[in-house]
Chain A
Amino acid sequence: MARSNKPIVWGPFAAGGTLTAFLTPALILLTLLAALGHAPDLLAYDRLHAFAGHWLAKLAIAGTVFLSLWSAAHRLRITCYDLGVRADTLVATLVYGVALAGTGAAVLYLARI
């Protein structure tokens, strides 16, 4: 029987697409406010450090980072193909690699908080 790894890469893409559709605009608005000099209360060091110190928040942040990066990586891979880049294996290795490395780094930093 023909085997395909498509569901494994596509599942997190769909989950990440849904999660980013719901969360990312509001999250970008938070750092935009900070960039404009009106940082929301949550971004004060004590509050954010306490928030990110809870295991449930760590799990949520790590999950958000993974799904966001993975869905962006998958879309970028398809976009490269659409634009005429035919080295799909190389592109896939690169973009999924960055997504996994970013997630690994996030987990490492969260463990130190």
Chain B
Amino acid sequence: MSRRPYQREMTSEWIFRHPRYLRYMTREFSCLFIGAWTLMLVCALARLSEGPEAWAAFLEGLKSPEVVVFHVVALAFAVYHSVTWFNLTPKALPLQMGDEFVPDGAISGAHFAAWGVVSLVLLYLAGAF
């Protein structure tokens, strides 16, 4: 005998009912771009392991308008993920000092500052500027 629980019909129409839902889904869709870029990184590792010619071909393959568009969109989604993630840090890591809680802005602000430093150091070490 099988139990058949009632499952309410559900569609994706709810996303458009409120701007907040749309922002939530925008944040969640960042995973597609971060995931796709990481899979591209795995392909890059494959070309790198095959030698100088394969690597040069990979770099040459990046130079197309489609790849540039993908990167610009992926960058926008990745930044949106970072901003939403750091905005949530006061909820995830509430910090109490004495009787008072550290203000939300200080906790997220510290994360934003660290993000800026990490990004600049990474870009500098990679020779981007």
Which residues does A use to contact B, with CB under 8 Å? 17-18, 20-37, 39-43, 45, 48-49, 52, 61, 64-65, 68-69, 71-73, 75-76, 78-79, 82-84, 86, 102, 105-106, 109-110, 112-113
Whether the Cβ atoms of A68 and B11 lie closer than 8 Å is no
Which residues does B use to contact A, with CB under 8 Å? 7, 10-12, 25, 28-32, 34-35, 37-42, 44-46, 48-49, 52, 55-56, 59, 62-64, 67-68, 71-72, 74-75, 78-79, 81-82, 85-86, 114-115, 118-119, 122-123, 125-128
Given contacts A110-B45, A113-B49, contact A20 B62 (CB under 8 A): no
Dominant SS among interface residues on chain A: helix
CB distance from A15 to the nearest CB of B (A): 12
Whether the Cβ atoms of A69 and B35 lie closer than 8 Å is yes
Dominant SS among interface residues on chain B: helix
- B73 nearest in chain A by CB position: A28
CB distance from A98 to the nearest CB of B (A): 8
Whether the Cβ atoms of B126 and A41 lie closer than 8 Å is yes
Give 27 pairs: A residue, B residue, CB < 8 Å, sorted on A: A17-B85, A18-B85, A20-B82, A21-B82, A21-B115, A22-B82, A23-B122, A25-B75, A25-B79, A26-B119, A26-B122, A28-B37, A29-B123, A30-B126, A32-B71, A32-B72, A35-B67, A40-B127, A42-B126, A42-B127, A49-B48, A64-B38, A69-B35, A75-B30, A76-B35, A79-B28, A110-B45
